Every structure is written in structure tokens, then in C-alpha cells.
Amino acid sequence: MQFYSTRNSNHIVNIDEAILNGIASDGGLYMPSAFTNVYEQLAGNDLHSVAENMLTPFIGGYFSTDEIKAIVRESFCFDVPLVQLNEQLYVAELFHGPTLAFKDFGGMFMANVMSKILQKQGRKLTILVATSGDTGGAVANGFFDKENIDVVILYPKGKVSDLQELQLTTFGKNITAIAVDGTFDDCQHLVKTAFADQELKASANLSSANSINIGRLIPQMIYYGYVANKLFKEKTIRPTIVVPSGNFGNISAGLFAKQIGYPITRFIAATNANDVVPEYFNTGTYTPRPSVQTLSNAMDVGAPSNMERINNLFGNDVSKIKDEISAYTVSDEQTKATMQSIYEKYNYIADPHTAVGIRVAEEKANNETCVVMATAHPAKFKADVELILGVNIPLPKQLSDLLNKPQQKLNIPNSFSVLKDFLLTAQKK
């Protein structure tokens, strides 16, 4: 399959170039040239069978069937439990990977695919990525010690949880973590500016592992396909899927899954106080603005990059988008209240991001069977969750092992010139 830029449909590349470039030369995001219904050809119901079925149309022209099987088994070695809270409400736990967040799907897949592409091409690469919390940890874990790949992670200083920061800063070797004096939007702007800089483009072989990279979205389709197929096969239910949303990459992957035939009714985007998209759907005017800090910090995005993909998918027609997606906002106080009520009713501990999704599912679904995508393990937000619920949350081994590891990080101001100097200097080493 080929991929085109959202800003120029005549700018067409193959999958290797789309993934290695991260972003098109015109600043656009890559989109699949076609969506083929493959659901009827699904041979098995396990996670690996679903992954192979969903990935083949997108990467099958570059990788052989055996290579795809190997990538799937190397990348997705963890389960996706589907927890039923009541008759019409399910939670899909996407946090059973190595960094306890849904972004392990994209991080592990991208690391394995990029490594194989670079080996075939004999190239080296620098991954430059911005994170609001979980992306960086998943990328660092996936790419750690991979040959021919260096990783530079930008994150907003003081605006990620302590455990999230440990997941960014305790690797070393080919992973460099940089705390930026600013917000996630500032970090994301620095990344986009770097990709647009001609001097950097000529001297540093840059790529991204944010959801702006099509290689992040493709593997994220898999858990949508897996849970939708499970409910459809077992109960003939086409679920409505509720997605805690910040940069809107996760819900974009869900849209892709539906486009290739998987049995999904519609989507509901659940945002925090950063409500640019709900406002867009209500007014028809898209007005990005600086993000504000909330309890669900990984969703603190005021200029969601992937709205460019969603607009492109639906011909920039907001009425068509609203046929597939509803969007609602949840305050921090509502998030806390939902965490408490879910624990009291179901003895279920939800992290703040998942609680935002559950709140919207309970209030806005119209007698639909909903699956809320649980994006992170509650232990990643241990202090907040324990304070709100009054319970002790043991740290999983993936997190407890980090506590005694030294941190390795740099601090920079919100300055592109400082970042550029660092990248150019690092390239010469």
C-alpha cells in the first residue's frame, strides 16, 4: 500500500518512507491510499491472528508473510483483558505491556519495524518525539539498545507524574530524555519545527514516534479489532467505543479499524478541560489554543495533531465526522467523582484517563454497549489515585524496578535554537 500527505494527495510514498520520515516534506501527515475490508478474511480470534489480518494490507507490500508474523510476535506479547463492569459497560485494559500503557502497542511495533527497515537499507536514524506522559516511556522501552537508532524524547518539565518521568529518564545508552520548560504543546511544536528546518533535515536523519507517525497508528488498530471481534463473535454486539483523547491519534486508529471492516458502531471521544475538539463539533470552528494542566495529564493537548487526519478522512466536513464521533469534556472534579463511584460500585480502580472515558460512557451513551479504552495502569498515577480513593496501590514490578535507577536527563528552555544546537552537536558525535 502507498500513503499520501494530508496536504497534498499527489505526494505519495511507500510504507518504509512513510514510517522513516514520520511527517511528509510538506508538513502533512501520511494517510493510507485505500482502506480494504479484510474482516471477512479473519482466520482466528486471538490477538496475533487479528494483528496479522489488520496489518497485512498496510505493510504486506514491503514485508513478507513470515516477516509480518515475526513482527507481530515480537511486538505484541501481552494480553488485552476485556473487563465487564455492568450489562452495557466494558473496559478494555490496554496497559498490560512493558510500560503499562496502551502506547506499548505502537512503541514495540515501531521499534521492530523501523529496525528491520534500517537493516535492509543500511541506514541510521534519530527518533525525535514529544510526550505528555506515556508515549515517551513506550518509545524508550521499545527502542532501547536498538542498533542504528538514537532516540531524543522531549517532555514538559514538572507536568508528568514521577513514575512517568522515571520511565523516560532511566534508560541511557541510545535514549536521551530532555525536560522542556513549557507544556506538551510546546514540546510538540519544537518537534514539528525541527522536521521543517532545512539545515536539520540535511544533516540529521530525523523521524518521529508520536502519533503523527503512521507507524504508530497502524498497530493501535489491533486492540480495537480484537475487542470488537470478541464482542461480535461471542454476543453479536457491535460496540460503541469510548476513547480518552488528547492528541486524537488513538481514536484515529479506531477509525482505521472500522474502515477496514471491523464491527464497531461508532466512537465517543472523552476529553478533559482541553476541549478543543468538543468545541469544534459544537460550533464547526476549530480553534487550537494553549493546553491547561489537568489530573489526566497525558490528555493535556490544546492543538491535537491528528485532527488533521480525521478532517482529511471525512473531507473536512465536520457533519460527517460527527456521524462517526461524538466528543464530550470532563472536569477534574467529575474525574475524581467517577474514580470514587466506580471503585464503590464495582471495586474497580481506574486511572484518571480511564475515568474520563467511563464518565462519558455512563452519561452520554444512548443505551449502547460501550467499551472504554483503559489507557494506563492506575499505579502510574499512584499518588493521585491513592489520595482520591484512600487505598494503597502496590507498584507492579515494571515500575518498582525503576525506583532505584539513576535518572539521566537534560533540561532546556522552550527554545528551538537550543534544541537545534543539541541535535546538530549530537549528530557529529
Catalytic residue at 320?
no
Name the H helices within 157-306.
Answer: 162-169, 184-196, 198-203, 214-235, 249-259, 276-283
Instruction: Select from 404, 398, 407, 307 the least CA-distant residue to 101.
Output: 398
H or E element that contains 179: strand 175-181
Strand 82-86 with 325-329, pairing: unpaired
Query: What one-character DSSP code corresponds to residue 392?
Result: -
Query: What one-character DSSP code corresponds to residue 158?
Result: T
Scan for cell 508473510, then name that residue.
65
In degrees and rounded to multiples of 5, residue 305 shows phi and psi of -60, -40
Query: What one-character DSSP code corresponds to residue 183?
Result: -
Instruction: Select from 368, 372, 392, 397 the least CA-distant residue to 382.
Output: 392
Q: Are 349 and 389 in contact (CB under 8 A)?
A: yes
Q: Are 104 and 209 in contact (CB under 8 A)?
A: no
In the sheet that holds 266-271, the strands lie side by side as 82-86, 89-93, 370-374, 240-244, 266-271, 325-329
Query: What one-character DSSP code corresponds to residue 297?
Result: G
Name the H helices within 260-369.
Answer: 276-283, 307-313, 318-324, 332-346, 352-364
Instruction: Select from 234, 221, 233, 292 the least CA-distant residue to 260.
Output: 221
The catalytically annotated residue of 103, 230, 258, 380 is 103
Strand 82-86 with 89-93, pairing: antiparallel
Greatest Cα pair distance in the chain: 59
Scan for cell 512503541, then name that residue.
107
Q: Which amino acid is at 428?
A: K
Q: Are 210 and 178 in contact (CB under 8 A)?
A: no
CA distance 260 to 146: 32
H or E element that contains 87: none
Mapping DSSP to helix (H, G, I), strand (E, B) and coil, where does residue 328 land?
strand
Active-site amino acid positions: 103
